[in-house]
Homo-oligomer: A and B are copies of this chain.
Amino acid sequence: MLELAILGLLQEAPMHGYELRKELATKLGTIRAAISYGTLYPTLKRLQTAGWIGTADTADSDTIPPLTSKRGRVVYKITAEGKERFAELLAQVGPETYDDAGFGVHFAFFSRTDRATRLRILEGRRRRIEERREGLREVLARASDRLDAYTLELQRHGLDACEREVRWLEELITNERSGRPPAASAGETPPEPPRPHQDRP
């Protein structure tokens, strides 16, 4: 997941680690907290060793690092192999693609994913959430007398979130099928033109 995210961001623009972390945080802020440097930097090295990313600066001028050991910022950019790898990871859909983290990252790069794959992922995710939803409904139906009020409240809140996400996914799937891009536009859009989005009728 991290690998996919890093390659995806570097595909948009070359960046150094620190910057990457921030971009990661804004792009995947809904999914997970900011990644730690202890993960980020070793990962970058790994990706470089694999040949998927390269450092811009060392490649540019002299390869000899300054003797003063003043580490400057290291700007990474994606390589041709890296782009291939990214495309491969992006198209690689499995069970992990449907859990929170996997889905989130894949979704965040949907604009680089073909529509067929997008649909597959959205539908897989929907199924996953529907299963969770059914599990919660069963608990609420069968075990509600065995559980205390707080636990029940937690389940109800979870169920609610599931139902909401299923509806959201449904909408996205419909949009995909009809060829429309995602709803877009929110914030303080003034005149609010088309926005043909309809809630429960």
User: Most chain-B Cβ atoms within 10 A of its Cβ — which of A27, A99, A111, A140?
Assistant: A27
- Give A184's nearest chain B residue, CB to CB: B149
A121 to B195, CA, bound (A): 39
| Contact partners of A187 in chain B: CB under 8 A | 140-141, 144
| Contact partners of A18 in chain B: CB under 8 A | none
Give the size range of A's interface with the partner.
35 or more
Residue A135 at the B interface, CB < 8 A? yes
B140 touches A153 (CB 8 A): no
Q: Which of B104, B135, B154, B157 contacts A154 (CB 8 A)?
A: B104
A 133-169 binary contact with B (CB < 8 Å = 1; else 0): 0011001110110011111111111101100100010
A184 touches B30 (CB 8 A): no
Identify which of residues 103-151 in chain A touch chain B, using a CB-to-CB cut-off of 8 Å. 104, 107-111, 132, 135-136, 139-141, 143-144, 147-151
Copies in the complex: 2
Q: Which of B30, B150, B164 contacts A111 (CB 8 A)?
A: B150
| Contact partners of A135 in chain B: CB under 8 A | 29
Interface residues of A (CB under 8 A from B): 26-27, 29-30, 33, 99, 104, 107-111, 132, 135-136, 139-141, 143-144, 147-158, 160-161, 164, 168, 172, 181-184, 186-187, 189, 195, 197
| Contact partners of A161 in chain B: CB under 8 A | 30, 161, 164
Please give the distance in Å from A154's CB to the nearest CB on chain B: 6
Extra inter-chain contacts (14) besides given A26-B147, A29-B132, A111-B149, CB under 8 Å? A26-B143, A29-B139, A30-B154, A30-B161, A108-B154, A109-B150, A110-B148, A144-B187, A148-B197, A149-B181, A149-B184, A149-B195, A152-B182, A153-B182
